[in-house]
Amino acid sequence: MFRGILINKDEAGYQARLQEIDDAVLPAGDVTVRVAWSTLNYKDGLAITGKAPVVRRFPMVPGIDLAGSVTESADPRWQVGDQVLLNGWGVGETHCGGLAEKARLRGEWLLPLPPEFTPRQAMAIGTAGYTAMLCVLALEKHGLQPGDGEILVTGANGGVGSVAIALLAGLGHQVVASTGRLGDADHLRALGATAVIDRAELSAPGKPIGKERWAGVVDTVGSHTLANACATTRYRGAVAACGLAGGMDLPATVAPFILRGVTLYGIDSVMAPLPVRAEAWQRLARDLDPGRLEAMTSEIGLGEAVAVAGDLLAGRVRGRVVVDVHR
């Protein structure tokens, strides 16, 4: 038996609660991990609250991220005692995840914990920070360089947005943060934003094409925000889209793409191949300032995760939340 959050759906409805879980609940896998830290991402909030059909199998342990140590392994790549981390791969959706003291996983899903990070720091980054790095890599591979112009980051107070600001600013870019919480403007500037704008400037229906402003964009919101970001991106600029906090739709036209040569990159973190993941974590170890990471991170115990999941979806959580699964 081990402690964890378990989601069930039965005659009583959809329920997520902290409880003792039998090992028999864990699915097949060739590596068992003693989880040290996990985290709460937007998708975890959806899974725990049932606000969207994230969970595909019941019962389910949520948690798309985890960091810990190997306790059993039938995979020759991993030995007992190895420090590992995991992001995505359907964990917390179709395969029991990281918001528990134990996980049974497939060895090919794991990465070695970078020596630059503690397990807690790796989870402060989590899928949100790893996704932010994938966005930055997409903009860099497009050719974007510091000095090329302003980079817009939407959903700036969220996990992806916060890490994206810290990364881009650390690399020398001029970052404009878009947020619905202007009271947090000083915090966003401390992370490296040079300017903060109200999300209302982008969230309403806009014109097919607008005044050129952004050399690049990291968008976590979708819907009208993404459409307006594309419409105001400069000639041959690039937009990296990785989220749908504002909606799954994209009410845009082809105008920015055929008149300005704007490129829209879709960023998937869940099924990205291992070489892509390894590159992202290597760059995070090199480019993410530990002080800025800590400034955007709060810590909770496993027993608080269900309540905080609701706060996260309601926009009452800033930055990253790490979960100590042993308290």
Query: For position 258, what pLDDT does the model report?
Result: 98
Note the pLDDT tens digit of each residue in 210-240: 999 999 999 999 999 999 999 999 999 999 9
Give the 3-state secondary structure of residue 277: helix
pLDDT tens-digit map of 237-271? 999 999 999 999 999 999 999 999 999 999 999 99
Which band of pLDDT confidence, cut at 50, 70 and 90, is reported for residue 154? very high
> Which domains can be identified in the chain, with CATH numbers?
2-113+296-324 (3.90.180.10), 126-266 (3.40.50.720)
Q: Do residues 112 and 12 make contact, with C-beta atoms less than 8 angstroms apart?
A: no
The β-bridge relationship of strands 150-153 and 214-219 is parallel
pLDDT tens-place string over residues 48-65:
999 999 999 999 999 999
Whole-model pTM over 0.75 = yes
Write out pLDDT tens, residues 169-196: 999 999 999 999 999 999 999 999 999 9
Q: Give bridge partners of residue 38 from the DSSP assignment.
A: 323
Mean pLDDT value across residues 272-283: 97
Instruction: Kindly indicate the confidence band of residue 12, based on its pLDDT and cuts at 50, 70 and 90.
Output: confident
DSSP string for 287-323: HS-HHHHHHTEEEEEGGGHHHHHHHHHTT---SEEEE
Tell me what the mean pLDDT of segment 26-37 comes to.
98
Residue 99 has pLDDT above 90, yes or no: yes
